[in-house]
């Protein structure tokens, strides 16, 4: 399995499908499409007071349905695989996911990857969905999807969360092969589920190459126990980083409120491992606690005042594009094969956002050179 970067297609307004031709050129392993109802950035600081990005978009939450955008991309491309990154199994019933995945796979002629995760509260609780026991619900949803795909005839199933009675999905897979399932997972139980079900895997967080290697080992061990070939699971990662052309540009990025707000996605336990107390307090659970509608301006201003640049730098690769590429190469040495380089510097403002695409491409080129013939 060679090393090859993935591309992102933003599923927010304004939607830019014009870039699909460039992304379909063979440079990228796959195109990843996020699926959210809301973003992680608090409403209280998405204002011109804190970021000029608010002058370009009235809200950070102008999300479109990731599966629908994947269907559109399927008919506008010819070569590159398309992966949702990731759809949760709470807002959509597994029977609906099973049918939608087959539909997009037929539209793309066998290039769709169903990326799934157990969900985040910000996309679920405000809309009245039940979010108790998310990992158990996730595993049962995976079982139902596989059951509907692989059963010959009507299906009966009595589970804890889902029940099927004479349910059928007679739509045959494209070219005799069901879409691969990629799973976003980081906790021990979720990693075990990934090993038993996944064709590809992303960690929701891997903070060092050793952390990535340890999690990948857990996935592969679970696959072996289940009688699966662990080498058939594609190791992926959305690698958040900060890039600037020089030290002064990086220093400016680190002062941006939305860049500091990256720490809201990180738990107090994780930050403590790097020697820091979390600015949101010792019990903060990272993205599981983010509710952008209720994090008030006063609380976020207090949080921002407590963020030290070293906290962010401890967690993400940073520097020039070439320096970032060298760090990501360490993750490749730990087993990563499909990296998506996500430059969080774009959240520092319109000027940094304009430079970000070029920086990412330069980092990709450097990484590919460093990897050479890595398999």
> Distance between CA 255 and CA 32 in Å, rounded?
29
Spatial CA neighbour of 42 closest among 60, 15, 66, 20 = 60
- Is residue 143 domain-resident? yes
Q: For residue range 127-167, what is the model confidence (pLDDT) as tens digits? A: 999 989 999 999 999 999 999 999 999 999 999 999 999 99
Full-model pTM? 0.96
Q: How many CB atoms lie within 10 A of CB 99?
A: 16
The two beta strands, 318-319 and 155-158, are: unpaired
Residue 168, preceding peptide bond in cis (omega within 30° of 0) = no
Q: How many domains does the chain have?
A: 1
Q: For residue range 14-48, what is the model confidence (pLDDT) as tens digits? A: 999 999 999 999 999 999 999 999 999 999 999 99
pLDDT above 80 (res 375): no
Q: For residue range 227-251, what is the model confidence (pLDDT) as tens digits? A: 999 999 999 999 999 999 899 999 9
Provide the CATH number for the domain around residue 26: 3.20.20.30
Give the confidence band of 356 by pLDDT, cuts at 50, 70, 90: very high
Residue 86, preceding peptide bond in cis (omega within 30° of 0) = yes
> Distance between CA 25 and CA 219 in Å, rounded?
31
- Give strand pairing partners of 33: 84
- Is residue 273 domain-resident? no
Q: What is the mean pLDDT of residues 171-194?
A: 97
The DSSP annotation for 219-276 comes to: HHHHHHHTT--GGGSEEEEEEEEEE-SSHHHHHHHHT-HHHHGGGGGSBHHHHHHTT-
- Is residue 217 domain-resident? yes
Give the confidence band of 294 by pLDDT, cuts at 50, 70, 90: confident
- Is residue 344 domain-resident? yes
- Is residue 78 domain-resident? yes
Q: For residue range 61-105, what is the model confidence (pLDDT) as tens digits? A: 999 999 999 999 999 999 999 999 999 999 999 999 999 999 999
Give the confidence band of 288 by pLDDT, cuts at 50, 70, 90: confident
> Distance between CA 42 and CA 50 in Å, rounded?
11
Range of the domain at 81: 6-245+317-371
Q: What is the mean pLDDT of residues 179-204?
A: 97
- Is residue 236 domain-resident? yes
Alpha carbon 230 to chain centroid, angstroms:
21
> Distance between CA 238 and CA 244 in Å, rounded?
19
- Is residue 301 domain-resident? no
Give the confidence band of 374 by pLDDT, cuts at 50, 70, 90: confident
pLDDT of residue 116: 98
The two beta strands, 82-84 and 338-343, are: unpaired
Torsion-angle region of residue 178: left (phi > 0), alpha (psi -120 to 50) or beta? beta
pLDDT of residue 373: 64
- Is residue 39 domain-resident? yes
């Amino acid at each position: 399995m060679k090393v090859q970067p993935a591309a992102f297609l933003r599923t927010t307004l304004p939607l830019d499908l014009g870039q699909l031709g460039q992304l379909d050129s063979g440079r990228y392993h796959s195109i990843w499409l996020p699926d959210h109802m809301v973003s992680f950035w608090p409403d209280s600081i998405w204002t011109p007071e804190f970021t000029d990005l608010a002058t370009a978009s009235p809200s950070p939450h102008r999300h479109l349905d990731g599966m629908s955008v994947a269907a559109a991309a399927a008919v506008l491309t010819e070569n590159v695989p398309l992966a949702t990154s990731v759809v949760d199994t709470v807002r959509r019933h597994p029977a609906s996911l099973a049918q939608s995945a087959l539909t997009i796979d037929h539209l793309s002629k066998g290039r769709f990857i169903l990326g799934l995760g157990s969900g985040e509260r910000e996309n679920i609780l405000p809309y009245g969905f039940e979010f108790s026991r998310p990992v158990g619900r996730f595993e049962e949803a995976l079982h139902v999807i596989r059951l509907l795909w692989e059963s010959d005839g009507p299906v009966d199933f009595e589970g804890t969360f889902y029940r099927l009675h004479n349910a059928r999905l007679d739509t045959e897979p494209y070219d005799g092969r069901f879409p691969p399932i990629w799973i976003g997972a980081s906790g021990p139980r979720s990693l075990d589920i990934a090993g038993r079900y996944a064709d590809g895997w992303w960690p929701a967080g891997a903070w060092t190459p050793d952390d990535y290697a340890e999690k990948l080992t857990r996935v592969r061990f679970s696959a072996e126990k289940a009688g699966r070939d662990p080498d058939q699971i594609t190791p992926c990662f959305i690698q958040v980083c900060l890039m600037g052309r020089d030290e002064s540009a990086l220093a400016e990025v680190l002062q941006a409120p939305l860049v500091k707000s990256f720490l809201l996605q990180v738990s107090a336990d994780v930050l403590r491992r790097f020697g820091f107390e979390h600015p949101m307090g010792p019990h903060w659970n990272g993205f599981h606690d983010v509710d952008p509608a209720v994090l008030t301006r006063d609380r976020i201003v207090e949080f921002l005042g407590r963020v030290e640049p070293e906290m962010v730098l401890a967690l993400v690769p940073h520097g020039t594009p070439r320096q970032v590429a060298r760090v990501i190469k360490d993750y490749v040495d730990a087993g990563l094969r499909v990296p998506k380089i996500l430059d969080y510097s774009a959240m520092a403002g319109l000027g940094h956002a304009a430079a970000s695409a070029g920086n990412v491409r330069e980092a990709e080129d450097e990484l590919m050179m460093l990897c050479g013939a890595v398999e």
